[in-house]
Amino acid sequence: MKFIHIADMHFDSPFVRLSDKDVMGDLRRLDQRKVFKKVIEYIKQNNIEFLFISGDLYEHKYIKQTTIEYINNLFKEIPNTKIFISPGNHDPYLKNSYYNKFEWNENVKIFTSKLEKVELEDVNIYGYGFDDFYLTDSKIEDLILENKDKLNILVIHGTLDGASIEEKQYNSMSKKMLKEKGFDYIALGHIHKLYFNEEENQRIVYPGSTVSLGFDELGEHGMIQGELTKDQIKTKFIPLDEKEFKEIKLDITDIPSKEELIEKINELDIKENEYIKIILEGKRNFEINTYELLKFALDEKIIKIKNKTKIAIDLDKLSNENTLKGLFIKEMKERIKNQENITKEEKEIIENAIEIGLEALE
């Protein structure tokens, strides 16, 4: 059997933290549609029998009916492909969700919070969906495969080996337990990073988010194409998202002015398919307003600038001055010195407080 496996499309995501440019959210929502069309076209051209969508197809809070209709109309273009959707924590199967109240095309199967098996001639498809924004027990541990002579596939949204309290709220499942169940393929969703081909004959797979949602999802994004028999599994990753998010670190220690910094930014070599976040580092010799810098960035592909610089000042020298600034610095340095086992984060908080205090004392 041939299949496509995608997850975490997040249709109609607001992309609120993506960029400081308002238009970027609209552009990425258009990119989502473009990429999803690519999935459907690939299925048509390659006679793919199954499409597995492992949760977070859309954002429940923001999704528009016109977007649901757009998705369903594309499903109608592949009537011979069986589509299985397992709702996730962003698109749970709620009473008022489109999964429940919308009339989907007949080739679409949407799983609910009751662990279910769909029996086909050569394959059994198991699935489970979130019915709330959190899920702590999908009862997958109790599942016993009834016919191991057939292909058995699980479509589900959740976390592998979740250890933290937060991870356990999103259907944490033991990787060891899942392997012992004997599934021929487990189509996972929730983790936006690609996870496949990291071990021989890997059958537990995250395709990652189909479209990157921002700078915490760097690199290529797309789908898994697979061919499966009882004896063999072949999978490959197919990139779909034409845009790639990248971070560029820029040390400004030796840059004396805002004007020269703007020149440096506009001299950066940026590829046509990239969205760029510039991270300013080092010691700054002038005040920085990232929103103002972004206005002077000539390349539209620069969509975010983050200031992680430190003020260029000799704190030891300043602390010895008999001034209000000197007394302030001396007091703050003593706080750092007197705290045992201070963490890096706590030290950064105090250092930031010093910067804010010095600016206030100007």
Q: Which of 116-130, 137-151, 304-318, 331-345 has the lowest mean pLDDT?
A: 331-345
Asked whether residue 200 falls in the same domain as residue 289, the answer is no
Mean pLDDT for all residues in the chain: 92
Task: State whether 223 and 327 are in the same domain.
Answer: no
Give me the pLDDT at residue 247, please: 96
Q: Is 273 exposed, middle or buried (0-12, 13-18, 19+ CB in 10 A)?
A: exposed
Token reading at 220: 């290529």
Instruction: Return the structure tokens found at 240.
Output: 């779909």
3-state helix, strand, coil in the chain (%, to 5): 30, 25, 45
Domain match, 319 and 307 both = no
Q: How many domains does the chain have?
A: 3
Residues 87/99, Cβ–Cβ less than 8 Å = yes
pLDDT over 90 (residue 235): yes
**Whole-number Å distance between alpha carbons of 162 and 41:** 35
**pLDDT band (50, 70, 90) for residue 362:** low
Domain finish residue from 311, 336, 351: 311
Domain boundary among 190, 221, 239: 239
For 138-189, the pLDDT digits (tens) are: 889 999 999 999 999 999 999 999 888 899 999 999 999 999 999 999 999 9
Would the pLDDT of 355 be above 80?
no
Find the CATH number of the domain harbouring 24: 3.60.21.10
Structure confidence at residue 286 (pLDDT): 86
**Does 104 share its domain with 217?**
yes
More confident call, 359 vs 242: 242
Same domain, 181 and 252: no
Residues 173 and 110 in one domain: yes
- Containing structural domain, residue 349: 315-360
My answer on whether 164 and 250 are in the same domain is no
Domain boundary (179, 209, 239) is at: 239
pLDDT at 316 exceeding the cut of 80:
no
Same domain? For 167 and 183 the reply is yes
Please check whether residues 327 and 302 belong to one and the same domain: no
- Does residue 224 sit in the same domain as residue 353? no
Beta carbons of 209 and 241 less than 8 angstroms apart? no
* Residue 32, CA distances (Å) to 10, 80, 111, 263, 318 in order: 8, 24, 23, 34, 53
Mean pLDDT of the 250-255 span: 95
Q: 230 and 166 in one domain?
A: yes
Q: What is the DSSP string of 250-270?
A: EE-TT--SHHHHHHHHHT---
The 10s digit of each residue's pLDDT in 58-113 is 999 999 999 999 999 999 999 999 999 999 999 999 999 999 999 999 999 999 99
Contact 244, 273 (CB under 8 A): yes
Secondary structure (3-state) at 224 = strand
Amino acid sitting at position 116: E
Q: Tell me which DSSP letter residue 222 carries.
A: E
Pairwise CA distance, residues 224 & 217, whole Å: 17
CB burial of residue 132 (10 Å; 0-12, 13-18, 19+):
exposed
Q: How far is CA 362 from CA 187, 264, 325, 331, 358, in A?
A: 58, 29, 9, 18, 6
Please give the model's pTM, rounded to 2 decimal places. Answer: 0.86
Q: Are 298 and 270 in contact (CB under 8 A)?
A: no
Kindly report which listed range (125-139, 209-223, 238-252, 345-359) carries the lowest average pLDDT score.
345-359
| Spatial separation of the C-alpha atoms in residues 331 and 233, rounded to whole Å | 64
**Beta strands 302-307 and 274-281, pairing class:** parallel
Tell me the pLDDT band of 338, cut-offs 50, 70 and 90.
confident
Residues 100 and 127 in one domain: yes
Pick the more confident residue, 322 or 13.
13
In whole angstroms, give the CA distance from residue 348 to residue 309. Answer: 12
More confident residue, 163 or 202: 202
Residue 320 pLDDT exceeds 90: no
Q: Mark 327-344 as b/e (b = at least 16 C-beta within 10 Å).
A: ebbeebbeeeeeeeeeee
The per-residue DSSP string of 282-339 comes to SEESS---HHHHHHH---TTEEEEEE--EE---HHHHHTSSSHHHHHHHHHHHHHHHS
